[in-house]
Structure 1
C-alpha cells in the first residue's frame, strides 16, 4: 500500500486553523497589561486591587529593611563559614599603614585620597581584628546608604536589583574599598540632572579614589546649564583633590598610581587573558600563573605580550569613545537623565573589558550605575534596556563570585580544570556582550535625530517632583500614599515608575 493510500485509509487529511492575524497585537496588549501592574504606566490597564496592596507593602520601609538584613545575613554567613580568606586585602592595607615609611612609599598603587580614607579608619583601633571590623562596617554603611537613596528615590525595581546584586556578588563588597568609588559614581548618576553640582563633584571624588571615573564626565559635559554646572564642579573638586595630594606627597606620589597600573602584567581574571587561561586549562604546559610583584595573580607565557597590546588598543578605543561623546553632547543642547546614566554604564563596561588588571571587585563599578539606570529610565525602550542590563549584571555578579572566591583555586592552580575555567570564560564573554550592547544603545541614542530636541520631558519633571516629595517625607505614611498613587490612572505629563 502506498503512503498516500495509507493516509486516506486512516481517515481524512488533518486540517489546521488559519494563522490568527491579531495574535501579535493580543500578545503585545498582554505584555503591556502585565508590565503596567509594576510600572503603573497608565496605558489603560490598571492592576487589580490586591496588587495595589502588594505595591503599598513594597513601598513600606520595614519590608526593605527586612530584605536588607536577611540578604546581608546570608552573605555574612557564607563569608564566615567558607571565605574568610578574602579579607587579606584589608590586612595588606593595615600593614602598610603601620609600616614606618614615608607617604611617598606607602600604598603607592592607590591615589592619596584612598590612603587618607584607609588611614582614617585606624581611629577605631590599630590591631588587625578591630581594623577589619571598622573597614567592613564602613563599606556596609555605604551599601546601606545606597539602599536608602534608592528607596527615597521611589524606584522599587532599582532597590530590588541592588539587594539581589549584593547577594549574588558576595562578601567581597565589605573587604575591598571599591565600594567607595562605586557608591559615589552611583549617587552621581542618580543626581545627574536633579543636583548637577553634586553629581559633578562626586564624579571627581570617584576619580580621586580610583582614577577611571574621570572618564564618566565625558557624557555629563555640554552646553546646558546643568552640564556646565557638572563640568565646573568636577573641575573644581578634581583640582582641589589633586592640589592636596601634590602638597602632601609631591609629583611622583601624585602620579604613582598611573605608573603602577601601566607597568602591571596580564591579570588572570581580565578579559584579554581569557583565551590564554582557556588554553592553559586544556594544556597547562607553556603557561604559568604566579603572584607578581604587583600583588596580583598574572599569567606568563606565549601570547601574553600580544594580548597586553590588544588591551592597550581597546583602552584607547574606550578613551576615544568617551572623547567623541564630549563632541556629541556639545552639539546636543541637553540630554535626559536616563541616557546619561546609560552612557555612564557603557563607559564602565568598556573599561572593564579593556582593563588588563581586571579584579573581581571591579564588578562593583557596574552595579551602582545599572541601579541608577533602572531608577531613571522613563520610556518603554529605556526601561526594557535597563531591565536587560540589570538581568545580565546579576548573572555577571553570580559568575564573578564563582570565579572568586569559590573556584579560584581550581582556576589558577598548577593543574587547572576546564570546567571551572569555563566559568571565567563565560563571565568574561558576558561582560564583552554587555559592553557591545550598551555602547551600541548609547551611540544609537546620542546620534539619533530625536536626541537633538529631547530635553527633560514633562514625564521626567513629574518623576523628579515625586522623587523630591519622597526624599522630603522619608519613611512615613505620606511616602506610601505617593507610592500608591503610581497605580492610579496616569494624567498627561505624569508617569508611574
Structure 2
C-alpha cells in the first residue's frame, strides 16, 4: 500500500528513540543503585542538607551557601522546604530533582530527533557516576547545552535566556553570552532579552537575600586558594611525589588546596593564562563574526570558552566535566543529523566527543575511586591527574582550532534568522 513506506519511515525513528530512552532509564537506575543506594552515599547532598538546617534555624537565604548564586541556594533549599528535614529525606528529594532535570534534557534531545545524543549523554553521564546524581552541576550543564542547541538553531534570543538561567545557578554559563550576538538581524532582540532576564534574576535575588548575597559568589571565588585538581596545581602535585612539593590542606572554602612553596607563582600563572585565554576568545570571536557567524563555529567557541574557564580557574572539581559533556553531545548530534556522509563539522564534533569521553573517564578514575590516594600523594593517581589536566589543555586547544576552522565560510552563511 502507498502508506507502507511512510509507516516504516516513521516507525524506525520512534523505535530508535524508545531504545535510547530505555537505555537512559536503565543506566540511570543502575547508577542510582551502584553509586547511591547500595553504598549509602550522600556526597555533597549531605553538605547541602546541613547548610539548609542552618538556614532554617535562623540564617535565612542570605547566609545559605554563599559560594553559589542566590537562585542556586534557593533551589538547594527547596528539597528541605518540601519535607526533606532529615538527611535521608533530603537526599531522596534532591535526587528526584536532579533526575527530573536529566529526564527533561533527554526529552528535549528526543523531541529534536537527536537519538544519538541521548546515547552519548547516557555514556558520559554514567561514567561520571555519583557526580551526576549527588551534586547539582547537571542543571547548569543542561542549561549551557540548551543554550548551545539554540545557537545551532539560530535562535539567539532563546539562547540568551538559557545563558542567564545557567548563570543564575552557576556563574560559568555567563561566558557564553557574547555568542548570542552573532546575527546582526537579531542582535538587539538577543541583547534586550539578556538584559531583561538578568535584571529579573538580579532583582529577585536582591529582594530575597540582599545585595551582599548577590555578590558573595564573586568574593568567595576571589579569596579562595589553589585547589589540588586545578590545572595550575599540576606541577605542585607532581612535586609532592618526591616530597619537595606543597602540602594538601582542607580549607574554609570546603576544598582540598595546596599550601607551601610555589603556590603563589602557580596562582599568578593561572591569572596570566586567564588573560591569554580571554585574548584568544576575543580573536576567535572576531573571526567568527567577520566570517558570517556560523552556528557550528559558535558551538565550538562555546566549548572553547567553557574549557578555557576550567583550565585557567584556580578551582577545578570533578563534576565540572559535566559542563563539557552536555554541550558536546548536542554538538555531536547536530553535526551528524541528516547527513549522508560525515562532513568536516561532523569530524570535528566526533573528535570533541571522544576527547571529552577520555577526560570524563580519567576523572572517574580519580574521583571517587582513587581520591584518597591522590590526597596521600600516591604516584599513579597523581600521574593520572597530570594526564587529565594535559588533556584539558589539549581539548581547549582543539576546540579553539575547531572554532577557527568552522568559521571559514562565505559571508552570510548563517542563513535566515529564526522567527520562532
Provide the TM-score with structure 1 as the length reference: 0.76
Distance in 2 of aligned mates of 1:433 and 1:89: 34
Distance in 2 of aligned mates of 1:286 and 1:75: 37
Shift of 1:306: 0.5
Residue of structure 2 in register with 1:404 after alignment: 367
Shift of 1:98: 2.9
Residue of structure 1 in register with 2:379 after alignment: 418
1:57-72 → structure 2 map (5 Å cutoff): 59-72=15-28
Shift of 1:328: 4.5
Residue of structure 2 in register with 1:44 after alignment: none
1:61-210 → structure 2 map (5 Å cutoff): 61-79=17-35, 80-82=37-39, 84-86=41-43, 87-125=45-83, 126-192=85-151, 193-210=153-170
Residue of structure 2 in register with 1:302 after alignment: 261
Count of residues in correspondence between the two structures: 405
- My pick for the range that moved more, 155-164 or 181-190, is 155-164
| Structure 2 residue 329 is matched with structure 1 residue 371 | yes
1:90-489 → structure 2 map (5 Å cutoff): 90-125=48-83, 126-192=85-151, 193-280=153-240, 282-324=241-283, 327-328=286-287, 330-332=289-291, 334-377=292-335, 380-413=343-376, 416-446=377-407, 448=408, 450-456=409-415
Gaps of 5+ in 1: 1-51, 469-497
Equivalent position SS for 2:62: coil
Equivalent position SS for 1:289: strand
Asked if the contact 1:246/1:254 (under 8 Å) is kept, the reply is yes
Distance in 1 of aligned mates of 2:280 and 2:286: 10
Distance in 2 of aligned mates of 1:238 and 1:322: 23
Q: Go from structure 1 to structure 2 and tell me whether the alpha carbon gap of 1:57 and 1:204 turns closer, same or farther (over 3 Å shift).
A: closer
Asked if the contact 1:335/1:456 (under 8 Å) is kept, the reply is no
Distance in 2 of aligned mates of 1:205 and 1:170: 25
Q: Go from structure 1 to structure 2 and tell me whether the alpha carbon gap of 1:99 and 1:436 turns closer, same or farther (over 3 Å shift).
A: farther
Equivalent position SS for 1:298: strand
- My pick for the range that moved more, 218-227 or 234-243, is 218-227
Distance in 2 of aligned mates of 1:422 and 1:175: 27
Equivalent position SS for 1:191: helix
Q: Go from structure 1 to structure 2 and tell me whether the alpha carbon gap of 1:176 and 1:268 turns closer, same or farther (over 3 Å shift).
A: same
Distance in 2 of aligned mates of 1:268 and 1:64: 37
Provide the TM-score with structure 2 as the length reference: 0.89
Asked if the contact 2:297/2:404 (under 8 Å) is kept, the reply is no
Distance in 1 of aligned mates of 2:360 and 2:55: 31
Residue of structure 1 in register with 2:5 after alignment: none
Shift of 1:94: 2.9
Distance in 2 of aligned mates of 1:430 and 1:83: 32
Asked if the contact 2:236/2:245 (under 8 Å) is kept, the reply is no
Equivalent position SS for 1:84: coil
Residue of structure 2 in register with 1:474 after alignment: none
- My pick for the range that moved more, 290-299 or 316-325, is 316-325
Distance in 2 of aligned mates of 1:227 and 1:166: 34
